[in-house]
Structures are given as structure tokens and as C-alpha cells.
Structure 1
Amino acid sequence: MSKENEVLLTKLMSGDKQAYEWLFNCYYPKLTFFANRFVNDMSIAEEITGEVFVVLWEKREQLNITSSVDAYLYSMTKNRCINYLKHLKIENLYLNYLQKNNLLDTCAADIEAGYNDKELAQQIQFAVDSLPEKCRQVFMMSRYEDMKYRDIAARLDISSKTVERHMGIALERLRKILKDVFYHA
């Protein structure tokens, strides 16, 4: 790794926002065009590249870059593009299955009924936001990042039992809040 890369990486890992902004300004356009070659949709490419930089900042203290920052960012972008394409393939397989079995209209009606209600989505977000900070953090890592309890425990430097306890509290509170929403709707 070059001396410039080492200095930049050290600054980034210590939370230097100027180093992060420099990386963002320098690499965002390049990585977006790179991602677009995989996904062939500029808005998706921009979203993927944005996620790369969010993860870079969030995990800056744990970075273990052995080659170059350039190679690391391109690798992150490529991996996210591949994950996106895998997810898209699964969605397409499911859509084909629904079409083949004449379930598309039924499923579409169910989806429309479930997701057209913005108030419900707001209530769910309100319920998650109303959780105590640690419970919310554990819940989001488990449900949105699909992390296992032991991985959450390791990241937060708490025991797996504590993670289980936070999840129990979170699920119980969400059940109560959302139960009230459904029964009063």
C-alpha cells in the first residue's frame, strides 16, 4: 500500500470527515459508472454507490485494507452490485412462479392492500423509533441487517443473552403498539 493510501486510511479510520469527503468526491462518480456497467440502471447504480460510502463511514474503525483504497472501493461496489443482481434474479424467479401459477393478480391485490396504506408504514416506523435506543439498535441489526444474535453481541460488545433480552423487549413493545393500530383502524 502506498504512503498516500496509508495516510488517507489512517485519517478515515480516525473519523476525519475531510478525508471521507475527499474519497466521496473523488470516487463517487467513477464508482457509479462502474456499478452502472453491472446493473444497467443509473439510479440503482447511484443508490449502490451511496450505500458503499455509508458502509465505508459506518465501518471506518474496523477497516482492514491491505491493497489500496481504490481497489477496496471497487471491490465493495462490485460485491454490492452482484448482491443486487442476485436479489433481482430471485425476485424474477418468484414473479415467474406467480405468473405460471396464476397467482399474480391475487398477490398483487394483497401487496397493494398492504403497502398502499402509508399510515400503517408510518405507524411501524413510529413503533420502531419508540423503542429504547439499545433495543432499537439490536432490533434493526437483527431484522434489517439480518445479523445473528452472536454477531450482534460481538459488534455491540454485549452478551448473546443481553441481545435476546433486547429482542424480547423490542418484539413485545412492537406487538403492543401495532396491535393497537390494527384493532383501532
Structure 2
Amino acid sequence: MSDFDSIFRNYHQVLVVYAYKFVLDEEAALDVVQDVFTHVWEKQKFDFEEEHLKAYLFNATRNTCLNFLKHQKVRQTHDEFVKLKSLEVQHYASGEKSLIEKESLDKIHRAIAALPAKYREVIELSRFEGLKNKEIAEQLQIPLRTVETQLFRGLSLLREHLTKQEFKILLSIFSLNRK
């Protein structure tokens, strides 16, 4: 049996049923079998003897199904991660914070208030008002490099006075305000 059309007619339906047992979705099973036959066509794999051809087609279908399922699992994990990240952003944006987060925010605000005035002003303009360094330099009428230095030093001081978790909260607030 070396004619591709006859191979397709003889095995397509039975391979779709076989693939369905793995993926539990008719469209996905059809796609998997389509991929198998595309590979057979491209690689000219239809010159096998009947017994070897049947084994090849079933093994190729099984392997393609397993790859499909692995890919689905990766996509599902990614989708769950994106959903959780979205919920987290909504949580922080909505202002619903636990007592611990509120205490951390209070400590963060106290740490910012304790900064030297020049650092505090640059950090507030950059991080809370979302201005770019160039805009801050123009507004305060100071060189751009001075803005960058003051921002760096201010954040370094904050890092020294805050825990890692509090500093991460601070950075997440900054990223929300920059959007």
C-alpha cells in the first residue's frame, strides 16, 4: 500500500478515534491526525509495508497527542499565571490591602518622608506622579544627571531602611503608577 490517498482513507477515521481517546476533544483529535498525515506526506513515509505503516501511524498519533497535551498544560499554567497576576494588580489597584500591607505602606511612607528633601521630591515626582527624569529636570530646573543621581541615592536609602518585602511593595506601587 503505497498510495497516500488510500492510506488516508483507510486510517484517517480510526486515527481520529484513537487521538480522541487522548485529547478528549474532537477538533483537537482532527488537528492531531492532520499533523500526522502532513508529516507523512512531507517526509514521504508512506512506502512502508502495511504492518509497519500501521504501527508508524499509531505511534506518530500517540506521540503527537502527548505533545499536544504537554503544550496544553504549559498554556494552562501560563493562563493561570496571567490570571493570578491580573488579580494581584487589581487587588493592589483597588486599595484592598490586608493589615500587614497597610502597616508596610505606613512604614514605606514614613521612610519616604524621612528622606532628605531633594531625594524625596525627585522620588515623589518620578514614582508617584509618573514623570520621566527629563520632565523632572525641567520642572525642578536641575540637570538630568542630577535627577538620576538623586533618584538612585533616594532608592538606595529606602532599600536600607525597608525590608525586602516592603521594598518590593514600594516597587510594585511605582510600576502601577507608571502605567
If the length of structure 2 is used for normalisation, what is the TM-score?
0.45
Of the two structures, which has the highest relative contact order with CA contacts closer than 8 Å and spacing of 6 or more?
2
Which has the larger Rg?
2
